[in-house]
Structure 1
């Protein structure tokens, strides 16, 4: 059971944040990444890396929390069995999305790519629409009063 949950989380981590915050940004700003590593790194490169690493840490912490406390994955196709309100979820209802956004902001800073800044705005918009119109209604249906009480005490973002 634990191995299955680990493998499902690994799969969805590669599929979702891996594509959104890894593959697509690399494809959009490939030359910018190559140029950054071809020359000497500047302070903004280090700042971008720091922001990106913080985002990775937040995202991985949330994924682990979903597996351990929620008994599920980050994917809407394989959601948690229990409402997760511990860890970073005490401060934000959507810290995993915040983590992914931090990765994107860090990559945009690192590469100085206008394409990544625009992409990040699009991703944030898509996240917000998905949360409001799909995820929150499902959580209200699945977890009822406990989710509604949680929403009263914890903000959607930060």
Structure 2
């Protein structure tokens, strides 16, 4: 729980606040409805984040924290649509905040954040998952996209569906 508050809280709370001081700027392109779209993105991102984080505990018997990684590969819930729903959720929240506040600096921060996550996944996370879960991860990787969600959930194996 502490990791949840510190890591995502810093990424979507403290850093955006330090950049913007939560000051509203004019809406992008003068289109106030983008603020509502931003609020919807923040809500969607929070749902992805909280559900996927909790799933690490329920199904993976661990956490997203590197010091307590899951002992089982998580392939249920949002993980049936996208391999990295926590990272997708975090970037979605920051982009939503950018739309709400009308602040292009948060758009840049969201892009940098995604690039960092992409690098982290390629260099650290996926090789670690490959070593830890072997063919199970290879099958998951072959069927579930890294960043852009599948329109239909991956059915997984019969064993996964029982989970």
Query: In structure 2, how many angstroms separate the alpha carbons of the residues matched to 1:96 and 1:31?
Result: 23
| Aligned CA distance change for structure 1 residues 60 and 31 (closer, same or farther; 3 Å) | closer
Bigger helix fraction: 1
Shift of 1:26: 1.0
Shift of 1:32: 1.9
Normalising by structure 2, we get a TM-score of 0.83
Shift of 1:81: 1.0
Partner of 1:149: 139
> Gaps spanning 5+ residues in structure 1: where?
1-9, 37-41
Q: How many residues align?
A: 143
Match of residue 12, structure 2, among 21, 24, 27: 21
1:91-117: CA deviations, max 9, x gaps? 111111111111011000011111111
Normalising by structure 1, we get a TM-score of 0.86
Instruction: Please identify, of 44-53 and 90-99, the stretch whose mean Cα deviation from structure 2 is larger.
Output: 44-53
Q: Is the 8 A contact 1:32 1:112 kept in 2?
A: no
Is residue 88 of structure 1 aligned with residue 94 of structure 2?
no
Query: In structure 1, how many angstroms separate the alpha carbons of the residues matched to 2:81 and 2:36?
Result: 27
> Gaps spanning 5+ residues in structure 2: where?
27-31, 149-163
> Cα RMSD (Å) of the superposition?
1.4
